[in-house]
Amino acid sequence: MLSSCGSKTKAPKGETELVLPCSEFKSDRKTFRVYSFGESMDMNVAKKKAMSNAKTDLAGMISTTMKVVGDNYVKSMEVNNVEEVLERFEENARTVIDQELSGVLVVCDRLMKVEKTDKFKYYIAIELDGDKIVKNYYKALSKNEKIMVDYNYEKFKETFEKEMANQR
């Protein structure tokens, strides 16, 4: 299966470009998105594997982004206890990510049967709204008095939006 990006050039000799189902869904300035797949002789197991793989990838992506945002935000603040604040930000990010993963939206799913192996291959793309993550992150932070003394939601959101712009 060949795909084109509008270019007239062909794939190099001996290579075939493959189009992976659901791979067109990418993160942007507002949304975290990932795609993955699962394979099994059992259709439901293939689906569960795909969802598990996608959630793991999504959690990693969000975690990395929130770590960068937390680091940049804390560095822009003038606090005495930088390490403690960073640790609480990371702890908070893990909690929020775990809670949010239960509410992922499936934006694409495709089921294939691999004739050669008689296995099912399930492709999936999922997403989470970045604004929702920031709001829930703020809610969780607001319960921590030590952090809230120095916390500025608008500045944090601005830092988050800058990092999301780098997702593209």
The proportion of the chain whose per-residue pLDDT surpasses 90, expressed as a percent, equals 36
* pLDDT tens readout for residues 53-85: 999 999 999 988 888 887 887 777 766 666 777
Tens-place pLDDT, residues 104-113: 999 999 999 9
Q: Is pTM, for the whole model, over 0.85?
A: no
Q: How many other CB atoms sit within 10 Å of the CB of residue 104? A: 20
Q: Which two tokens stand for residue 116?
A: 């050669």
